[in-house]
Amino acid sequence: MVDMEGISGILRKSQVMGNEAHYQEGRRYLTADANACIEGCFAGGATKVVVRDAHCTGYNFIWDQLDPRAEYVQGMPPIERISDIDSFDGVILLGYHAMAGTGGA
Binding site residues, Zn ion, CB under 5 A: 3-5, 55
DSSP helix/strand/coil, 72: strand
Nearer to Zn ion, 52 or 55 (CB): 55
Which neighbouring-strand residues pair with 8?
none
Length of the chain: 105
Q: How far is the CB of 47 from Zn ion (least distance, A)?
A: 29
Question: Cα(85)–Cα(91) distance, rounded to whole angstroms?
Answer: 8
**End-to-end CA gap in the chain:** 19
Q: How far is the CB of 30 from Zn ion (least distance, A)?
A: 10
Nearer to Zn ion, 46 or 82 (CB): 82
Answer whether 97's CB lies under 8 Å from 5's CB: yes
Q: How far is the CB of 81 from Zn ion (least distance, A)?
A: 12
Nearer to Zn ion, 18 or 40 (CB): 18
